[in-house]
Amino acid sequence: MRVLVVEDDVELSGALERRLRGSGFAVDTAGDLPEAELSIEINRYDCLVLDRAVPSGDTIDLVRSMRSSGLTTPALFLTAKDAVAQRVDGFEAGGDDYLVKPFAMEELIVRVRRLCRRSADATPTILSIGDLEVDQARAEVRRGGILLTLTSKELAVLVELASRPEIVVSRTHLIETCWDELTDPMSNTVDVHIASLRRKLGDPGVIHTVRGQGYKLAIA
């Protein structure tokens, strides 16, 4: 799950980035509207976390523009403005959730995770392929009924593959959806996680390499 945080307060932005990453999210950050607009244009996000007031304007305008262009990425507003009218404005512009500063990081994590699941509502909560079961809501994976222990990144990669059984998923797509802009696209991080997943999923193997194209999940 990939999240964009738009926050001009460097200290708060850093804290949000660390906590979200520590909870298994891929995180990009932007300090103003132009930077946020560029990130949204070139990347696909599962959720946006937006400070209402940034130096270049109000992120409510960003959300309004997104909705008018048909982009439905869930948006959570962060603000020091606690007036009811301000919250109503955010929802009417197309916002999905609201947190007033100061807030508990634990609550933000729960809200962001819920919004990310909403953005993936076209994908079933439980993905079943043969004897492999991926429960996205519980973040649990079982094979042959046995619960497996996966890291958050391994789970993210497996969900991408399990969402498209028998279809080749490129390394580029996996990097774009499971990691963030700090990840070197030329690194071997995808290969390392795929190798670890193969070990944990056991035999017979279900993740197959398609040379020059990527990986696919298939059970004979």
Average pLDDT in the 56-77 region?
89
Per the structure, the count of domains in the chain is 2
Average pLDDT in the 153-159 region?
90
Same domain, residue pair 94 and 159: no
Q: Using the CB atoms, write b or e for 68-102: b if 16+ within 10 Å.
A: eeebebbbbbbbeeeeeebbebbeebbbbbbbeee
Q: What is the pTM of this model?
A: 0.61
Lowest mean pLDDT among 66-80, 83-97, 98-112: 83-97
pLDDT given for residue 80 in this prediction: 76
pLDDT-derived band at 160, boundaries 50, 70, 90? confident
pLDDT-derived band at 56, boundaries 50, 70, 90? confident
pLDDT given for residue 62 in this prediction: 92
Name the residue among 163, 154, 160 with its Cα closest to residue 123: 163
pLDDT given for residue 182 in this prediction: 64
Average pLDDT in the 53-59 region?
87
Same domain, residue pair 105 and 150: no
Same domain, residue pair 203 and 97: no
pLDDT given for residue 82 in this prediction: 66
Q: Which of 89, 119, 149 is the last residue of a domain?
A: 119
Average pLDDT in the 15-24 region?
90
Name the residue among 217, 200, 192 with its Cα closest to residue 149: 200
**pLDDT mean across residues, the chain:** 87
pLDDT given for residue 120 in this prediction: 60
Same domain, residue pair 112 and 132: no
Report which DSSP code applies to 205: P
Kindly tell me if the per-residue pLDDT of 119 is higher than 60.
yes
pLDDT-derived band at 138, boundaries 50, 70, 90? confident
Where is pLDDT greater, at 120 or 162? 162
Kindly tell me if the per-residue pLDDT of 174 is higher than 90.
no
The residues, any chain, with a CB within 8 Å of residue 32's CB and separated by 6 or more, are 6, 8, 54, 55, 56
Same domain, residue pair 103 and 193: no
Distance CA 30, CA 10 (A): 10
Q: What domain range is 65 assigned to?
A: 2-119
CATH of the domain at 198: 1.10.10.10
Same domain, residue pair 26 and 114: yes
Same domain, residue pair 115 and 49: yes
pLDDT digits (tens, 9 = 90+) for 175-204: 877 877 666 666 788 999 999 999 999 999
pLDDT-derived band at 123, boundaries 50, 70, 90? low
CA distances from 2 to 101, 108, 206 (A): 23, 15, 25
Average pLDDT in the 201-212 region?
92
